Amino acid sequence: MRMTTASTCCYCGVGCGVLIEHDGERILDVAGDPSHPANLGKLCSKGSTLHLTGDLGARALYPELRLGKGLARGRTDWASALEHAASVFAETIREHGPDSVAFYVSGQLLTEDYYAFNKLARALVGTNNLDSNSRLCMSSAVVGYKRSLGADAPPCSYEDIEQADCLLIAGSNMAYAHPVLFRRLEEAKAKRPEMTIIVVDPRRTDTSELADLHLPILPGTDVALFHGLLHILMWEGWIDRRFIDAHTEGFDALKSLVRDYTPAMVADLCGISVDDLQTCARLIGSAPAFLSLWCMGLNQSTAGSAKNSALINLHLATGQIGKPGAGPFSLTGQPNAMGGRETGSLSNLLPGHRDAANAEHRAEVAAYWGVEQLPEQPGLPAIGLFEAVRAGKIKALWIACTNPAQSLPDQQKVHEALATCPFVVVQEAFFTTETCRHADLLLPAASWGEKEGTVTNSERRISHVRRAVPAPGEARADWAITCDFARRLERHLRPGAPSLFAFESAEALFEEYKPLTAARDLDYSGLSYALIDTLGPQQWPFPPGSELGTARLYGDGVFPTANGRARFVAEHYQAPKEKREARYPLTLNTGRLRDQWHGMSRTGTAARLFGHVEEALLCMNAEDMRRRRLLDGQLVKMKSRRGSLILPVQKDDSLRAGQAFLPMHWGDRFLKGLGSNVLTLASVDPLSKQPELKHAGIEVERVELPWQFFALVEGDVQRRFEALRPLFETFDYASFSLGGRERSALLIRGARDAAPTAVELDAIDHLLGLDEGPVLAYDDPRRAVGKRVRIEDGRIVALRLAGETAARQWLRGLWESGSADAELRRWLLAPLSAPPGNAKIGTDRTLCNCLNVSQSAICAGIERGLDLTGLKQELGCGTSCGSCVPELKRLLAHQPERALL
Ligand SMILES: Nc1nc2c(c(=O)[nH]1)N[C@H]1C(S)=C(S)[C@@H](COP(=O)(O)OP(=O)(O)OC[C@H]3O[C@@H](n4cnc5c(=O)[nH]c(N)nc54)[C@H](O)[C@@H]3O)O[C@H]1N2
Ligand SMILES: Nc1nc2c(c(=O)[nH]1)N[C@H]1C(S)=C(S)[C@@H](COP(=O)(O)OP(=O)(O)OC[C@H]3O[C@@H](n4cnc5c(=O)[nH]c(N)nc54)[C@H](O)[C@@H]3O)O[C@H]1N2
Ligand code: SF4
Ligand SMILES: [Mo]
C-alpha cells in the first residue's frame, strides 16, 4: 500500500517540506509539500531526487567495534557497543578529567538530538568540549547578530524577498545553495523588474546572472566595500538620522572610521570601478526597502565577524530593518543550523541562546537540569578541538552526523589527529565516509525519512520532521543512541542518582528543552509537536498563548541589548590571511556544486546527480592557464603551504585572473589525496573561530603522468567502490564518480608515472569483473597498454583502458547507448588506442536533471532559434524543479561564444 508522510528535506537551510511516498518499508518517491510555507510545493534538483539516494550498499547497518588500532572492525551488538564506549569514556574522564573527551556534532542533527548531546556534555560529563560543524558555517553570523543586534536572530522572513526593492546578495550562490528561495527571487524579479538585485561575489555565478549589478570584488575585501558604501551613503545624505538617533549607538566612531574609505580607495582595494561602487550605494540608498542576503562568502573568513557587522551597519545606518522587505538576512546552510544555535550546541553557547561564559546562564541551566553546576572551563571550537586531539589532549572523541575528515581545513592534520586519538566514536548513517575509516566504534544512525524531531530553517521556522519508514538494519535515531549511551555513562559517573536521560521519545526531549527558551529572545516555549501539526510550521518567537509565530523582528526599533539600542561596530578592513606572493600567487576559492551535498555520502550514491558535473576539476582563468602553458583537461598539481592535489584543470571565464575555484565536495574517497581541504588553511576569525575556507594561497603546475587509466563498471556500485578505492593508493591521480541514468556505473580515472605491476592490475581487473567470463582483451606489453571490455547480452557492462585512454569518451558513449557493435570489436583487437576515425566523441553535461536534457541538445535548440519558452516547450528542460533555468538563460545570453561541449 502506498502512503504519504509529510516531512522535510534533509539538505539545505531553506527547509522545504517534502511529501514522502512509501510503502511502510521503502521510500518510493518524493514531492514538494504544497502546504509548507518554505517552498509551497517546490523542490530543487537535490530535494526532488532524495528517493534515488541512500543506496543500502553504502548505509551503516550494524554497530562495529575495533579492538585495537590497526585491526579491522568487527560487528557487535548495541548493548556491547555502548557499554564499551561508556567504560572507555568513564575511564578517560576519571584518569584525565572531563576535558579529555569531546563531542563534535552537526547542523544536520535534529533539535532533539542536539539537546541530548548538549545535556550529555555539560550536565553529565562536565565539559564544554561540544562543538558543531556550524563552526565552519554559521558562527560568524552568530557573532555578527549578537554584537550588532544583541541576539542571534535573523530578523526577516522569506516573504521579504518578494517585498524588497533592493536586494544585496553577498557571498552567496543561492542559485545552487538555496535554489527554492532563488526560484522565489526569480519570480519576484519577473513580476517587479524594477526591483534591483546586486550580487557581491568574486566569481560570476548563476546567482549573479540575475543581478542588475554584479560586483566581482577581490577575495576577502567585503569589509572595505561595505565601509565604502557607508561612506557614500553618508556623503549623499542617504542615511536615516532619525533611526540612528532613536535606536542605535556607536555611530560616531563608525563615522570617523569610514571617513578613510573613500570611493577611489575602496574601488581600488576591491578591484571594481568607482562607478559601480557609486551605483551600488545609490541603489541601496534610494530603495524604499533594502534587504541583504549572505552566506559563506562572508562567514568563512578570518574577517567573518567584521564582514557580518559591517553589512549590518548598512541596515542600521539606513533604518532598513524591522519592516517588510528590509533587514539583514543571513541564509543558513544546513537544515538545522538554527536548531544547533538555539540549543546552545557550540562550545561557547548554552541552551536558549545563553552563553557558557556567563555564570548566571550556567546557574540557570544547571538548576533546570538538577545538577550542581555546569563546567566553567571554556570549550574548544572545532579547529582548536582537532588540534587538541592531535596534541593528545583529547583522548576520546565522539563524532556525530558530520565528516570532519573531509570538511575541516588542513586535512593532513585532521587525519593525523584522528589516527592518533585513542578512541574515536562515529555515529553515521553512511559507513563510506572518510571519517568512518578512523572509527574505533561505528554506530549506525537512522537518516532522512527514518527519524522524528524538529528543525528550524533560515527564517526561524520550526517544522516537524516526521518518520516515514523504519531505519535499515539496526540503525537507530540519533537522540536514542545518545541517550542510551548517556544512561550507561551515568552508571559510571553518577551511580545511584536518578537518570538525566530517561527520555522515551524525541517529543519528550522537545518538551524538556522548550522551557529553556522561555522569556529569552527566541522563546518558543508555547510550541508543541501537536501545535505544529495543527497550525503548520511556525516562526519563533512563539511564547505560550501565541496563535501564530512571528514573521519579523525589531519592528518597534527595540533591540535585545542592555539599553535596547542596536550597536554600530567600527572595525577596519583586514586582508585575508594568505596574501598573494610569488610562491603561491593564486587564491583558491572553494564552494558548492548545484547537485552535490558536502562530502557526498548521500548525493554521491545517485548517478543522476553527477550529470551536471561529473568529476573533480580545478577551474582557472584562461590567462592564468596560458601563462602556465596549461590546456583544458590536462593534469595539474595544485600546491598550498599545507599539501598538494593532482587533478585535471578546466578553463572557466567566470573567474578573474589570479583566482581558482575547486568544489568543496571532493574528499579522499572521490579524489585521492585527502580531497579539496588538503589545501585549505585552518586560520580562524578571532571572535567566531570560523576558518578561512574560501581563500588559500596556491600555485598550479603541469604534471606529466604518462601512464593513464580509465575504467567503468556497472552494477553493485557502492560495494565495488569500497573494494576498488584502496587499490588506487599507489596512483598519483585517481578520481571516482558515477555515471549513467537508467543504469548506473562506477567511473574511475587514474594516472601514474609508470605502469603498476601486473599483480596490481590483475587485482583491479578482478574487482571490475574483467578477469574471466565474456571479456575481450588486447595487450601490448611493450607499451604497457591494455584494453578489456566485458560484453553481456550485446552490451558493454565493464571496461578498462590501461596505459592510454584516448578512447574513453567514445567507449563511455557506447556503454550508455547499450550497443556493442562490430566496430568496437575490431577496435578492441587492434593496436590502435584512439577511437576509430569516424567515432563520435565527447561527453555531455546533463543540465536538466529532471527531464534528462543535455547541454548539447539545449545548444542545438538555441541554434535553431528557440528562446527560453521554446526550449521549455520543445525539450521540457527547466519545467520541473527549475534548477537549470539560470544556466539556460546564460546559454541564451552568451549564445555567440558558447562552448558546445
Ligand atoms: N547544492 C548544495 N547546496 C547547499 C550545500 C551543498 O553542499 N550543496 N550546503 C549547504 C550549506 S551547509 C551551506 S553553508 C550553504 C553555502 O551556500 P553558499 O555560501 O551560497 O555557497 P558557497 O558556494 O560555499 O559560497 C558562496 C559564494 O561565496 C563566494 N565567495 C568566495 N569568497 C568570497 C569573498 O571574499 N566575498 C564574497 N562576497 N563572496 C565570496 C564564492 O565565490 C561562492 O560563489 O549551502 C547550503 N546548500
Ligand atoms: N573547503 C571548504 N570546506 C568546507 C566548506 C567550504 O565551503 N569549503 N563548507 C563548510 C560548511 S559550511 C559545512 S556546513 C561543512 C559540512 O561538512 P560535513 O558536516 O562534514 O558535511 P556532510 O557531508 O553533510 O556530513 C554529514 C554527515 O552526516 C551523515 N548523516 C546524514 N544523515 C545523518 C543522520 O541522520 N544521523 C547521523 N548520525 N549521520 C547522518 C552523512 O552521511 C554525512 O557523512 O563543510 C565545511 N567545509
Ligand atoms: S532548496 Fe532544495 S535542498 Fe534546500 S531544502 Fe529545498 S529541496 Fe531541499
Ligand atoms: Mo554550512
**Residue 596: CATH number of its domain:** 2.40.40.20
691 close to ligand 2 (CB < 6 Angstrom) = no
Let me know whether 517 and 606 are in one domain. no
Which residues, in sequence order, are CB contacts of 737 under 8 Å at separation 6+? 610, 614, 615, 670, 746, 747
133 close to ligand 2 (CB < 6 Angstrom) = yes
Q: Which residue blocks in 426-547 are alpha helix, DSSP H?
A: 478-493, 506-513, 529-535
Question: The C-alpha cell of 98 is what?
Answer: 572531563
Helix (H) or strand (E) holding 359: helix 359-369
Dump pLDDT digits (tens) for 179-233: 999 999 999 999 999 999 999 999 999 999 999 999 999 999 999 999 999 999 9
708 close to ligand 2 (CB < 6 Angstrom) = no
Instruction: Identify which ligand lies nearest to the alpha carbon of 183.
Output: 3
Q: Which atom of ligand 1 is nearest to the CA of 301?
A: 35
Question: Sorting pLDDT into bands at 50, 70 and 90, what band is 898?
Answer: very low
| 101 within 8 A of 399, measured Cβ to Cβ | no
Question: Domains in the chain: how many in total?
Answer: 6
pLDDT at 900: 40
Kindly report whether the peptide bond that precedes residue 541 is cis, defined as omega within 30 degrees of 0. Answer: yes
Q: Identify the residue whose cell numbers are 527520555.
A: 503
Question: The C-alpha cell of 395 is what?
Answer: 583522548
Give dist(CA 362, CA 353) in Å, integer.
Answer: 12
In a domain, 237, yes or no: yes
CATH code where residue 24 lies: 3.30.200.210
| 393 within 8 A of 385, measured Cβ to Cβ | no
**Coil vs helix vs strand at 739:** strand
Question: Sorting pLDDT into bands at 50, 70 and 90, what band is 822?
Answer: confident
Which residues, in sequence order, are CB contacts of 145 under 8 Å at separation 6+? 151, 152, 153, 154, 308, 312, 330
Question: What percent of the residues of the chain are helix, what percent strand, and what percent coil, each to the nearest 5?
Answer: 35, 20, 45
Q: Which atom of ligand 1 is nearest to the CA of 203?
A: 42
In a domain, 234, yes or no: yes
In a domain, 751, yes or no: yes
**Coil vs helix vs strand at 671:** strand
In a domain, 836, yes or no: no
688 close to ligand 2 (CB < 6 Angstrom) = no
pLDDT at 843: 62
Q: Are strands 566-567 and 248-249 parallel, antiparallel or unpaired?
A: parallel
In a domain, 72, yes or no: yes
Range scoring the smallest mean pLDDT among 230-244, 272-286, 460-474, 822-836: 822-836
39 close to ligand 3 (CB < 6 Angstrom) = yes
123 close to ligand 3 (CB < 6 Angstrom) = no
Within 13 Å of residue 724, how many CA atoms lie on the same side as its CB?
Answer: 29
- CA nearest neighbour of 336 among 163, 446, 461, 169: 461
Q: Identify the residue whose cell numbers are 549623499.
A: 236
pLDDT at 841: 62
User: How close is the Cα of 300 to the center of ligand 4, in Å?
Assistant: 9
Mean per-residue pLDDT, 150-178: 98
Q: Which atom of ligand 3 is nearest to the CA of 45?
A: 2
503 has a pLDDT exceeding 60: yes
Mean per-residue pLDDT, 837-850: 77
Give dist(CA 745, CA 607) in Å, integer.
Answer: 7
pLDDT at 826: 86
Let me know whether 619 and 719 are in one domain. no
Let me know whether 647 and 718 are in one domain. no
Question: Of the residues 178, 410, 428, which should be mutated to test ligand 2's pocket, given the most ligand atoms within 8 Å of the CB?
Answer: 428
Helix (H) or strand (E) holding 166: strand 166-170
667 close to ligand 2 (CB < 6 Angstrom) = no
673 has a pLDDT exceeding 70: yes
Q: Which residue blocks in 609-695 are alpha helix, DSSP H?
A: 622-627
Q: Which atom of ligand 2 is nearest to the CA of 599?
A: 23
High-pLDDT (> 90) share of the chain, %: 92
Domain ends where: 328, 349, 372? 328
- For ligand 1, atom 31: residue with the closest CA: 297
- CA nearest neighbour of 800 among 813, 810, 790, 814: 790
User: How close is the Cα of 651 to the center of ligand 2, in Å?
Assistant: 28
Domain ends where: 673, 700, 727? 700
CATH code where residue 873 lies: 1.10.10.1100
Give dist(CA 466, CA 602) in Å, integer.
Answer: 19
User: How close is the Cα of 106 to the center of ligand 2, in Å?
Assistant: 7
Q: Which atom of ligand 1 is nearest to the CA of 133?
A: 12
Let me know whether 694 and 717 are in one domain. no
Question: Sorting pLDDT into bands at 50, 70 and 90, what band is 844?
Answer: confident
Instruction: Identify which ligand lies nearest to the alpha carbon of 597.
Output: 1
Q: Which atom of ligand 3 is nearest to the CA of 457?
A: 5
- CA nearest neighbour of 394 among 357, 427, 420: 420
413 has a pLDDT exceeding 90: yes
User: How close is the Cα of 548 to the center of ligand 1, in Å?
Assistant: 32
pLDDT at 119: 98
User: How close is the Cα of 45 to the center of ligand 3, in Å?
Assistant: 8
**Domain ranges, residue 778:** 705-825
Give dist(CA 885, CA 876) in Å, integer.
Answer: 11
pLDDT at 834: 78
Let me know whether 91 and 227 are in one domain. no
**pTM listed for this prediction:** 0.97
Q: Which atom of ligand 3 is nearest to the CA of 39?
A: 6
In a domain, 259, yes or no: yes
Mean per-residue pLDDT, 230-251: 98
12 close to ligand 3 (CB < 6 Angstrom) = yes
Question: The C-alpha cell of 616 is what?
Answer: 573533480
In a domain, 628, yes or no: yes
Beta strands in 49-146 (DSSP E): 64-65, 74-75, 101-105, 130-132
Let me know whether 152 and 112 are in one domain. no
770 close to ligand 3 (CB < 6 Angstrom) = no
Dump pLDDT digits (tens) for 680-726: 999 999 999 999 999 999 999 999 999 999 999 999 999 999 999 99
C-alpha distances (whole Å) from 195 to each of 166, 186, 288, 613, 888 are: 6, 11, 10, 32, 22
For the chain, what is the radius of gyration of the CA atoms?
27
Number of H helices, E strands in the chain: 29, 36
840 has a pLDDT exceeding 70: no
Domain ends where: 644, 675, 700? 700
Question: The C-alpha cell of 784 is what?
Answer: 604497457
Instruction: Identify which ligand lies nearest to the alpha carbon of 36.
Output: 3
Q: Which atom of ligand 3 is nearest to the CA of 47?
A: 7
Mean pLDDT of the chain: 96
Dump pLDDT digits (tens) for 300-357: 999 999 999 999 999 999 999 999 999 999 999 999 999 999 999 999 999 999 999 9
Neighbours of 686 (CB within 10 A): 12
Question: The C-alpha cell of 747 is what?
Answer: 567511473
- For ligand 1, atom 42: residue with the closest CA: 203
719 burial (CB, 10 Å; 0-12 / 13-18 / 19+) is middle
Q: Which atom of ligand 1 is nearest to the CA of 176?
A: 1
Question: Sorting pLDDT into bands at 50, 70 and 90, what band is 899?
Answer: very low
Let me know whether 606 and 686 are in one domain. yes
User: How close is the Cα of 846 to the center of ligand 3, in Å?
Assistant: 20
User: How close is the Cα of 433 to the center of ligand 2, in Å?
Assistant: 10
- CA nearest neighbour of 465 among 30, 20, 3: 20
User: How close is the Cα of 278 to the center of ligand 2, in Å?
Assistant: 39
Dump pLDDT digits (tens) for 745-764: 999 999 999 999 999 999 99
Give dist(CA 566, CA 244) in Å, integer.
Answer: 9
Q: Which residue blocks in 714-755 are alpha helix, DSSP H?
A: 717-724
Let me know whether 351 and 457 are in one domain. yes
Instruction: Identify which ligand lies nearest to the alpha carbon of 604.
Output: 2
C-alpha distances (whole Å) from 390 to each of 384, 396, 514, 861 are: 10, 12, 37, 56
313 close to ligand 1 (CB < 6 Angstrom) = no
Mean per-residue pLDDT, 818-827: 85
pLDDT at 464: 98
CA angle 828, 830, 833 (to 5 degrees): 75
Give dist(CA 103, CA 344) in Å, integer.
Answer: 13
Let me know whether 106 and 128 are in one domain. yes
170 close to ligand 2 (CB < 6 Angstrom) = no
User: How close is the Cα of 266 to the center of ligand 4, in Å?
Assistant: 29
Question: The C-alpha cell of 83 is what?
Answer: 557499554
In a domain, 35, yes or no: yes
Give dist(CA 462, CA 457) in Å, integer.
Answer: 7
- CA nearest neighbour of 118 among 429, 346, 271: 346
Let me know whether 809 and 876 are in one domain. no
Question: Sorting pLDDT into bands at 50, 70 and 90, what band is 825?
Answer: confident
In the chain the first and final C-alpha atoms are separated, in Å, by: 45
Range scoring the smallest mean pLDDT among 54-58, 412-416, 447-451, 537-541: 54-58
CA angle 647, 649, 655 (to 5 degrees): 130
Let me know whether 319 and 401 are in one domain. no
pLDDT at 738: 97
Let me know whether 591 and 736 are in one domain. no
Mean per-residue pLDDT, 474-494: 98
Question: Of the residues 178, 182, 334, 602, which should be mutated to test ligand 3's pocket, given the most ligand atoms within 8 Å of the CB?
Answer: 178
Handedness of CA 265, 268, 269, 275 (dihedral sign): positive
| 21 within 8 A of 4, measured Cβ to Cβ | yes
333 close to ligand 2 (CB < 6 Angstrom) = yes
